[in-house]
Amino acid sequence: MSTTQGSNSSLSHPPRGLSFAVFLVSGFTLFLLQFVAFNSKNHLFQTCVFTGLPVLFSLITFLVYRSHGFNAYWRPYFSYDIAAIALSLMWLFDDLPLNRLGLDPKSPAGMALEKATDALILLFAISVLCRVFGISLGSFYLQRGNLKVALIFGIFGFAVMASFGVLQARSLGISIEKIRTWTPWLLTFCLANGFVEELIARGLFLKAFEPLLGRLLSNLATAIVFSISHVGVTYSADLFQFLCVLLVFALLAGFLMQKSDALWGSALFHAGADILIMIGIFAGVKT
């Protein structure tokens, strides 16, 4: 399987509206099911989801790659397949370091280590699959890009959001000393999660969608799926307001990724926004 063969055999592109709907349905299927399974206590259900989805998306990727009429979809579905495989590997292995070290998965240190493990698993899965199928890591924004733009906006966004997080924490009665104690775990968790979510929700898909949707609709499709996939979160007191704000942030993160042609600015911005949430989670309060 190679990108050259795929692009040469794709003779026609489906209507943008159809592609947009297909990608929304596929994204909801993947990310909502995985979210529910991650939080389920039913091991059989988890096993079915985390083995079934990689098989399903691998099959779809193979079929559309071999199809003359639907070959244009193979790159997006290759991205869905990578995401499904990576999420399943996280489910299988991300608690191994915790178990080895005997850490509580609900403690700040435990959450940080688990998220850092997720980042390593995701990067490993993408690197291996890209090498096997001859896909450039730059196709997923894992490249230098316009580093100046990425860092200026990323660091500025991180600083602003982190500052709001500290101010919010103070309004909730969380002391500066407590925040200082959590800082290594906060930074580890938020930087790792910013990388993981920006890569798996946007980096894998924006360039893959663009030939079929264009830049604006690609960003909108990933932002909608990213936002709706958070519908089950319990750390927000007002879920509807949270999802609306999340959609705006997702669009901004996607625009920054497209503008800088790299992941780093969006990941930093995302990490700063996560500090707003994680201080409250570490303290056991809604934010």
Q: What is the pLDDT of residue 8?
A: 43
Write the DSSP string, 115-139: HHHHHHHHHHHHHHHHHHHT--GGG
Average confidence (pLDDT) over 201-221 = 98
Average pLDDT, the chain: 94
Displacement of CA 281 from its chain's centroid (Å)? 20
pLDDT recorded at residue 286 = 65
pLDDT at 2 over 70: no
Handedness of CA 191, 192, 195, 196 (dihedral sign): negative
What letter represents residue 252's amino acid? L
User: What average pLDDT does range 73-98 have in this prediction?
Assistant: 97
Spatial neighbors of 12 by CB under 8 A, at least 6 apart, are 69, 72
pLDDT of residue 235: 84
Looking at residue 284, its pLDDT comes to: 85
Tell me if 190 sits within 8 A of 116, measured CB to CB. no
Exposure on the CB side of residue 281, measured as CA atoms within 13 A: 21
pLDDT in tens, 69-84: 899 999 999 999 999 9
pLDDT of 9 higher than 50: no
pLDDT more than 70, % of the chain: 95
* Mean pLDDT calculated for residue range 247-259: 98
| Pair of tokens at residue 285 | 């309060």
Cβ-proximal residues to 137 (8 Å cutoff; 6+ apart), any chain: 126, 127, 130, 143
Q: Binning pLDDT at 50, 70 and 90, where does residue 32 land?
A: very high
pLDDT, position 287: 59
- pLDDT average, residue stretch 97-121: 97
> What local confidence, expressed as pLDDT, does residue 226 receive?
98
Element (H, E) at 276: helix 264-283
